[in-house]
Amino acid sequence: MFLRLGGSLCDFVRYDFPSSTTDACRDFSDPTNSTRVGYDLGSGCLAPSRWDDLNNFCSNIEGCTLIFGINALYGRTNETCAEGINCHDDSNANPCCTNWSGSWDPSNAEALLRYTIEQGHEVYGLEFGNELAGDSGIQAHLTADVYARDFCAFKGLVEEIWEGQENVPRVISPDNNLDAEWFGEFIKETFEICGGPDVVTWHQVRGLGAQR
């Protein structure tokens, strides 16, 4: 059984761990209009005790393996929308809402991962963000080359932290609706830079209207 912890809010959560240099964590804020998902980047906080509880919960269940979604927007900024744009309104679909700039900052994820190996937690897989890729992304429309570059930085971080260890977490990506052209570019570039992802995933969602 795979217990996946992630999804739409994983790119908003910060990790409040001993070696982290992030600003003080805070609870999820009330929904705003500044992001597509409706929450401020950096709202929501994962503390060591909560992370321990999640890992212990899974390890106490026979056959349970943990997959965790990493915040892949950390370090990026989105300040391109004019005042008054409602990014939380899906009918708006203003392109400025998904126009993120800058590079992923690995420092907060590194604090989480180093704590994870120090505590002996075994995580089956680590997903790099959730639905941030290309035109079919929700929160961001990162290009294949930008996403590939930062994905490879993340993969390198995992390999560095787990060097010489058994049970190295699989690095998973991109957790996005399928866009064949974008996926092709991403896979090609990541294989050239870092050998590609361990697992390639996409989301296949059937609308409620079709089910009815």
The bridge status of strand 45-46 relative to strand 125-128 is unpaired
pLDDT greater than 50 at residue 177: yes
For residue 82, the 8-state DSSP code is P
Using pLDDT thresholds of 50, 70 and 90, give the confidence band for residue 212. very low
Q: Is the pLDDT at 208 greater than 60, yes or no? A: no
**Rounded distance, CA 88 to CA 78, Å?**
14
Percent with pLDDT over 70 in the chain: 89
Q: What is the pTM of this model?
A: 0.89
pLDDT tens for each residue of 65-110:
999 999 999 999 888 888 888 888 766 668 888 999 999 999 999 9
Q: Which structural domains are found in the chain, ordered by start?
A: 2-211 (3.20.20.80)
73 is written with which tokens?
A: 């927007």
Whole-angstrom Cα distance, residue 146 to residue 133? 10
